[in-house]
Amino acid sequence: MRARLRDLAPLLPPEERARIEACVRDLMPAGELRAVRTELERLAASLGRQTVSVPPPPPPPTAALRSVLLFSKDGRLLAGEGPVEALDLPALATLVAKGEPGSTWSLVHRAGILVGHVGQRAGLVALFAGRPKPGVGGILRVSLVSLEQKDRLASALTHPSSHQALTAYVRAVRSLLTKGA
């Protein structure tokens, strides 16, 4: 019984612990020991429910999406959404131009973490303030495949006289990344 009290002592409020220790110290008859044991079991069950009902800690915050950029396969910036001042755009353009079609990559940059996907005729790059959720590369891949399959948007890749459709597309990708990733 003293061992059970010792096990529960760190979980008990100080006044409960003192009260039960006083009972155990002065007890000898078996009937009173059973009463104290019953009280200890009741407290153990109560404390067990309290520890189970404690909510788990919140998940770590996800990294904020800063920018989404669409490059042509030859390295031209076609459309963008978000700040790009901290990025080395010529280096990103070269990375997209030299990228293997179908490749997805992630790079740590002084401005954050870059995740990109290169398709047959274009490349999408997203900049995150920190580590993005898993699945960002998949969203970029699916979005780029979708773009390259649409005739109107695909023709805007080769004849970018009006970037309105591409800007709307980049805005939609940004929305997908913000919600889904």
Q: Could you state, in order of their start, the residue ranges of all structural domains in the chain?
A: 2-52, 65-180
Note the pTM of the prediction, 2 decimals. Answer: 0.61
**Taken in order 135, 141, 144, 149, is the CA torsion positive or negative?**
negative
C-alpha to C-alpha distance for 110 and 119, rounded to whole angstroms: 25
Query: Looking at per-residue confidence, does 35 or 60 come out higher?
Result: 35
Per-residue pLDDT of 92-141, as tens digits, reads 999 999 989 999 998 888 888 899 999 988 999 999 888 888 888 888 99
Q: Above 80 in pLDDT, residue 153?
A: no
Q: Above 70 in pLDDT, residue 30?
A: no
Identify the H or E element spanning 148.
helix 136-149
C-alpha to C-alpha distance for 33 and 23, rounded to whole angstroms: 9
Q: Which of 7-21, 49-63, 128-142 has the lowest mean pLDDT?
A: 49-63
Top CATH class of 65-180 equals alpha beta
C-alpha to C-alpha distance for 138 and 117, rounded to whole angstroms: 9
Q: What pLDDT, on the 0 to 100 scale, is given for residue 32?
A: 67
Residue 77, beta-bridge partner list: 71
Nearest CA to 79 out of 149, 163, 146, 158 is that of 163
Task: Assess contact for 102 and 145: CB atoms under 8 A.
Answer: no
Q: What pLDDT, on the 0 to 100 scale, is given for residue 160?
A: 57
C-alpha to C-alpha distance for 88 and 141, rounded to whole angstroms: 22
Mean pLDDT, residues 14-32:
72
Amino acid identity, position 81: E
